[in-house]
Structures are given as structure tokens and as C-alpha cells.
Chain A
Amino acid sequence: MANTSAALEFSDHSVSFGARTITEGVSLELVPGSILALVGESGSGKSVTALAALGLAGSATQTGSVRLTGPERPTGEGREARQGQDTELVGLTAKALRRVRGARVGVVFQEPMGAFNPMFRLGHQIAEAARAHGREPAAAGGAQTTLPEGTPTSPTEGAESDDSIGERVRQQLLKSGLHNPDQVMRAYPHELSGGQLQRAMIALATINSPEVLFADEPTTALDVTVQTGILDLLRRQAAEEGQAVLLITHDMGVVADIADRVAVMKSGRIVETGAVRDIFDRPKSEYTRELLDAVPRLNAAIAASTAEVNDRLGSPTEHPYGSATAWAESSPAAVSAVLAAELTAATVVHRSSGRQVTAMDSVDLAIPAGSITGLVGESGSGKSTIANVLTGGQGLTSGRAFVDGGRVSTRPTRKQRRLRSEIGVVFQDPRGSLNPRRSVGAQIAEPMRVHTDRGRRDIEAQVTSLLDDVRLPGDFAGRYPHELSGGQRQRVAIARALALGPKLLIADEPTSALDVSVQRGVLRLLADLHEIHEFACLFISHDLAVVEQLASTVVVLQRGAIVEQGPSSQVLMNPSQGYTRELIDSAPVPDPEVQAARRAARLAA
């Protein structure tokens, strides 16, 4: 227990809200210069553990101990809590806890756009963090944050000057990899990208050189290509600044990439803690094994890595779902010449405040009947625009779109209604796509009521059969969305999308909002339904591993244009375009050795 090297130590820490216990007996050790990953599914209590310790979890009550033992640092006057003594965070007064937050423990949050106040400039918001802990200029220069040319230090005690704080913010932004700090400081949050904002957030969290950094799903809302940079930055915070980093994540690829140690959490308890390689190679608990098994692996990326690693993983046939090619062959699409949907030279240009934004740039895309086409690309690459065009929600500036042989337009004609009835859509977040005030049965029945003149009995029977198709009991028809789990809700959304027996199913990131173990079941279900109903599927995802498993054809989008398309095995195993390779390389593989090799290669480059 008395490990003096830990910067922050949770021991037997429990959090509860009223009578509801969220976490129990959590013990964690955060060591300077090292990253501890706290993994587990949503709702397992990962975030609440960290936030409660800092008094950021609302009305949470805590028992046990969270000891902050950082080394003595130069501090201003009257900051006794920061002198060498250990600080027990549980039960600390609000005032003392406030002096710990942002000064000794920095926090990076998941959604960078929401984490900044939209009303204030970034420079101001970051400077606020520095000002809140009013360090004397001497401390700023003396701590680990050694500034290149000495900060203008004023001999008088009291608040640091605005210029000096501004300079600190500038330096901090530069260190966080933002090469135009002045521009960033002047910007409002909505003027920057998610990646830039997250770097700014790391700058904010570390401006007072905290001993401990909490990163709560720091890359979950970001694209893979951006994620890499953020993870490198966090890695550097630990390695170069000597911070003890607590990385909260559900992504085993991220864990494999940058964690030194891993703690696995399930239902509020730590089930296993160990070095990252031990966890991946020799998971002791059943739950850890399940969690690792459920993670989709991109065979292509693994195959591209070193041969010895490849050997150890075994051949693609040992893949949990069988190889990608096997799935593709099993689909009847390969032989079909009929097209379920087609785009020819389809272009969408948005005009806003005089500027033109090309959301889709002469896209030629053919989705054969009965096939699964995977659509991959970063956010803003035009994936969802394609879906919107096919469903008649977005008009084309030029070019043509066809569904089931009929030309798609945004006009509300009878023909368009028929075409729309040939398309089923499954959205990313079933919580948002299902109406909370209508029963599951009513929502599955709705497409049939709108598009057919079947009788009530007939429709009810069909609802039961659809529920059966998605492996939900028939009595779910009477339930409401809030009574269902995330995975069950998504099954309902799939049942609704299939209600009319569509020729084309558009699945827009259908598993991105789900935990990996749930994701696996939903993907399996989609594959099975595809085999039974033989619909064509446009499967939109940012997760290449998932696409590889499911799709026979992959289309890679970048800035609205198709950069590469072809059989998934070929595109993902042997990409002809640099951008595709970049996407494959950026997606972290849940294997510490592969990730270590990649990281070394990246840093060497």
C-alpha cells in the first residue's frame, strides 16, 4: 500500500449517489511518468471514479482514500495544501479541493467542442486556468515547464501580469503541437477543429504543470488520424513532463498504444490490474478475456506488421469471425449484376456566406443488389452526405442518384415515396433515432402503416416476426425505448429499418455508440439478416476492422471524393492510395507489441 513512488493513489475507494453504489473498493496507483489505462464498458464507473475524487461528480459521496503525494514544488504563499505533505482528497474541503483541481491534477475531457465555453476566446479560457492558481512568475519558470527564454518575472509578489500569462499560454499551446498559438488564442471554440481543440484542452489541463493528468476518453470523439497525434501528446506528457496519467477509455487499441499499466473495471469493481502486455497476452480474469475477444481486429493492419507478430497471432482463419474474404464470398452479391443503388458523377455543393463547400465531389458508386458495401473516411469526408442523397434528403448539385433503378430526387412525389420505401436506415445512436414516447411495436409498425395498406393484425404479426428476426422476444413490442439496453434499442432500429423488406439498408455508424461486446452481437446480427433477406447494405463506419469483417467492397472517401474502392480484402490488405494506408495505420490495433512497433516506426519517420 505504502508505495511512496505513486503520485496519486486510490485505495478502497467507493463512490455512491444516495443509496446507489456506483463503484466499490477501487484501488489504483498512478505513477509519475507512466500511463495507467482504466478500461471497461460504459456505465462501469470509470469516469465517476476520477471525477468524484476531484469533486466533479455532483452529489457523489465517497469512502476510502485518494492520496495525492506529489513531490514538493515551488509554490506561492498560503498554499499549504501544496506543500510536500500528502493530501487526502476524500473529505477535503471544497476550497482546498479547488486548489488541487487544475493545479495538481489536470483533466482532459471527451468532447472537446463541448468542453470549452462557446462564448469566450480560447486564450482567455486557458489563461483562466493559470490565473485561478495565481502562481508567482518564478514558479512558472522554475517548475518542469521550463520556458525557452525566461519569462518576464516581476519581483513583486501577487498576481502574475497578463503579458506573462499570455506568454505562458502561448508556450503551452506550442508544446501541445499547435503551431499557430496566437491564432488559436484569439479563436472561439467553434472556429477550430476537434483535434485542435483537444490539443488546446491538453494545454489548458497542463498549464500549471500538474503532477497528475486525468484523460477521460480523450480521443473517442476524434478521427483516427487525429487521434494518433493526441495520443502521442499524452504519451509525451508522461514521458517528458513526468506526469502520472490516468487514461479512461473503452478502446483497447488506444490502451495497447500508449498505456503502461491497465486496470480493468466491471460494474464498479476493478477485476484485474497489470502491465499492459500481461493484460493482453495473459489476461487473468474471464471478463478481460471477453473484452479483448470482442474487439474487432483489422487483419489488414496486423498482417502489415512484423512477421513475427503475425505468426504469433495466427493466420486470418483464426479470426473470431472468420476471415473477411469468407464473409464476402458467402454473400450472394458477388454474382449479382443488378444494382440496388447507384451514384453517377454525383456532386453536392453547399453555399454558405459566399463560400462554396463541396460535400460530394463527382462520386461514382455502384451498390450491387445483395452486397455489403463499406464506406469509410474521416468525419466530414461525405459519408453521411451519400446516405442523405440516397434517401432523398439531400439534393444533388449535379449528377444522378438511383435506388432500385429509379432516379432519386428530393421532390415529394409518389415515385419518391416508393423509392424511399425500398430503403431502410439504421442510425448511429438508437437513443436519438427511436421516439421515447412510442412503444417499440408502434415504431416498427410505422413504416408498414405509412407505405402499405395491410391490416392491423397482419402488421402486428409482422412486428412479432421482425422482433424475432433481430432476436428479441415478441413481448418487446409493448415496451418503450428507455426500458431497453443500448444493444436492444439498436436491434429495434434494425427491425424497423427492415420492416418493408428494403432492397437497400443504409447503416450509418450503427455500432459506434455501443460497447464492444454489444457491438459484436449487432454486427453478427446484421451479417445473418443480410444472408437471410439478401438486401444490399451501405455500411458506413469509421472503424476499418468492422468494415473489413462485414463488407465485400470498401469505398474510401476523403473530402467528398472517392479515393479508392474495391474488394475489401484488396483495399485493406493492399491499399493503392496513401490516404487509405494512413487510415489503416492510424487505427490502433489492440496489441501492445504491434502498437509499439508502429510507434517506433512513426517516431523514426
Chain B
Amino acid sequence: MSRAKFVIYRLLGALIVLLIVAAACFAIFYLMPSNPAQYSCGKPCSPDRLAEVERYLGVDQAWWKQLFDFLRGIVVGRDFGAGAAAIHCDAPCFGYSFRLRDSVTSLILSRLPITVSLTLGAAVLWAIGGIAAGLIAALKRGTATDNVVMGAAITGISAPTYLLGLLGILLFGFTLNVLPIGGYVPLTENPAMWAFHLILPWIVLAIANAAIYARLTRGQMLEVMSQDYIRTARAKGLSEPVVIGKHGLRNLVLPLTTLFAIDIGGLLGGAVITEKVFGLGGVGTLLLEAVSNLDIQVIVGVTLFAAAIVVIANLLADLSYSILDPRIGARH
């Protein structure tokens, strides 16, 4: 299969996955016995007003008509209500929050820089830290160093993010008083303050993930180092750093890329807990607030957005395989 064909197949597949996710979200929030109009109606809610809201939201229509309107809104935009009270939602319209008086699309976009800053910064930290720790543990296999590093990794995996976050805030924010305990400064405004405010969240988010990378790296490295080609590399007279760093590490790129893509994709959809702990108003916080306020359009919109990011991240990972591993895909 040519690469172009592969990409097209995968894109079609991704589209189907997203459709299924959209339908599932829709089913959960719109077709359940609970009436979404009820939440938007306010209290007290007279039957007349409820009917009006239902019409406004379109929930008085048949379910397939509602789904169609929703999907159509993503492609061409959508109008809620009619006449003077109509609210227009530009394409791609993932819904409209009547509570926040903004389209879900623009809500997500306004929160996205925070989530991206948090995720990518943490990702750099955990990738470097986790892979380095895993390599050290693998090369010092069975020694005290190995035990300490892997023990720390297990602790990192088991410690809940909120606990690490709160401990970090307590230690660096209050006891030592060296780092801010929350808040976000846009990168464009002041890069130094941007980084300064994010250091603690980055470290906390990185610790939880680095542990997984350390374990994966260690396991893979131990396997790779037992391969015949490592012995060949040594038999050539290559120095040990070259044997490990080149012949060993090169073969770890594939599994690490896979994991990295999945993790980044997952977090871009909202690092809910970390954002909450550090008061960062990112996509995760948007979702959290929507849930507590039963702002269904936002819930559905953010869920779909997160699903789309995960699907795209996996697609990119799959596409990178044929570049990263000469054995996969057509080379010519």
C-alpha cells in the first residue's frame, strides 16, 4: 500500500471514529431521560418557557434530526432560535454555551494555549527525565541505582497527581516560597513569567508520566541490549557509548514515539487535575466547569475535541513509523 493510500484510509477511519464518538456523546446527553432544556431553562421553569427553550435548542426534534443538525453545525455553522433572538454559531460549530454566551469552538480556542503550554512543557521534561532514568536503570541493571530509580518510578506512577501537586504547592509555594502556586501568564505577554508560573505544574505533570517512560525505556533497552546486533556492534570494536547510544537507543524510538503520541494527545484534550490544582484555566478546567454546571453543549464539544486530538495524535504516530523504521512501509 502506498503512503498516500495509507493516509487516506487512516483519515477515513479517523473520521468514522469521530462520528461514533459524536453519536455516543449525543446519545448520552441528549437522548437520556433527562432533558437538556431543563438545565438551560433556569429556576423556576414554567412549562411554557421549557417548551420555548426546547424549541430553541432543537431538542423537540427527532433524535436523528438533532444529531444531523449537530454534525451539520460542525461543517457549515448553525443558528439557534429564530428571528431577533437567534444566535449564530460559526463553523466549525461544536455547540453553544448559553451560560458563557460563547460558541464552544471559541471557548476551546481561548483555553487551548494554556493546555498546550502545560502539556508540551511537561512532555519535554518527562521525556528527557523518564528516558534518561530508564537508560540508567537498564545499564545498571540489578544494582542499587537500578532499584532506586525503579522504586522512584513506581512511586511516581502510584502517587496521584493532585497529591504531588498539593505537596509541591506546600513545599515550593508556602514553605520555601520560591514559586507561584498558580495562575497563568500568556507566553506572548511575558515569556519569563510564563515559564516561571508553569514550572511547578510542569514538574508535577512530568513526574507522573516520566515514571511510565522510565519503565518502558528500561524494559525495551534490556531487550534490545540482548539482541545479536548489539554483540555485533561490540565485536566491531565500537565503544560502549556508541553501542548503547546508537545501536541500542535507535531501536527504542518506535515504542517511545507510540507512547508519547498517545500521552500528548490525551493531555491536550485537557489535563483536568493538574489544571485544577494549579488554577490554570485550560481546556480541562473548561470541561470541569461545564460538568458542574451541566453545560451540556460544552461537555459534548470538549469531549469531541479531545477525541479528535487523540485520533490525530495516533494517526501522526502511525505515519511516523514508516519514517522511523525502515522495515515498515514502502521505502522507495
A interface residues, Cβ below 8 angstroms from B: 51, 54-56, 94, 98-103, 106-107, 109, 111, 114-120, 125, 128-129, 132-133, 188, 190, 201, 204-205, 353
Contacts and interface: CB of A to CB of B under 8 A. Distances in A.
B237 A119 contact: no
Given A114-B229, A115-B228, A118-B229, A102 B326 contact: no
20 contacts: A101-B235, A102-B238, A107-B232, A109-B232, A111-B228, A114-B228, A114-B229, A115-B228, A115-B232, A117-B232, A117-B247, A119-B326, A120-B250, A125-B232, A129-B237, A132-B239, A190-B327, A201-B232, A204-B232, A205-B235
Contacts of A102: 235-238
Contacts of A107: 232, 235
A117 B234 contact: no
A114 to B, nearest CB: 4
Interface string B301-332: 00000000000000000000000011100110
A117 B250 contact: yes
B99 interface: no
A129 B229 CA distance: 13
Nearest to B324: A119
Nearest to B250: A119
Contacts, number: 78
Nearest to A114: B228
Contacts of A353: 1, 330
Is chain A's interface secondary structure helix, strand, loop, or mixed overall?
mixed
A109 B227 CA distance: 12
A31 to B, nearest CB: 22
B233 interface: yes
A129 B237 CA distance: 7
A111 B229 CA distance: 10
B65 interface: no
Contacts of B237: 98-103, 129, 132-133
Contact of A132 (B231, B238, B247, B325): B238
B251 interface: yes
Contacts of A128: 233, 236, 238
A204 B231 CA distance: 13
Contacts of A133: 237
B251 A119 contact: yes
Given A107-B235, A109-B232, A128-B233, 8 more contacts: A56-B235, A101-B236, A115-B228, A116-B229, A117-B250, A118-B251, A118-B326, A119-B250
A208 B239 CA distance: 16
Interface string B235-256: 1111110100001001100000
Interface residues of B, number: 23
B112 to A, nearest CB: 36
B130 to A, nearest CB: 21
A103 B331 CA distance: 33
A139 to B, nearest CB: 15
Contacts of B233: 117, 128
Contact of B227 (A51, A114, A201): A114
Contacts of B236: 101-102, 128-129, 132, 204
3 smallest CB-CB distances across A and B, nearest first, come from A102-B237, A114-B228, A129-B236
Contacts of B326: 118-119, 188, 190
A115 B236 CA distance: 11
A204 to B, nearest CB: 7
Nearest to B247: A117
Contacts of B227: 114
A251 B265 CA distance: 55
Contacts of A115: 228-229, 231-232
Nearest to B232: A115
A100 B229 CA distance: 18
A334 B240 CA distance: 63
Nearest to A119: B250
Nearest to B325: A119
B62 to A, nearest CB: 42
Interface in B163-189: none
Contacts of A98: 237-239
B282 to A, nearest CB: 38
Name, among A54, A100, A119, A120, the residue most crowded by chain B CB atoms within 10 Å (CB to CB). A119
A133 B231 CA distance: 17
Contacts of B330: 353
Contacts of B229: 114-118
A423 B257 CA distance: 45
Contacts of B1: 353
A342 to B, nearest CB: 37
A118 B235 contact: no
Nearest to B331: A188
Contacts of B232: 107, 109, 115-117, 125, 201, 204
Nearest to B231: A56
A125 to B, nearest CB: 8
B224 to A, nearest CB: 10
A101 B238 CA distance: 9
Nearest to B327: A190
A353 B328 CA distance: 12
Given A116-B229, A118-B326, A101 B251 contact: no
A133 B229 CA distance: 19
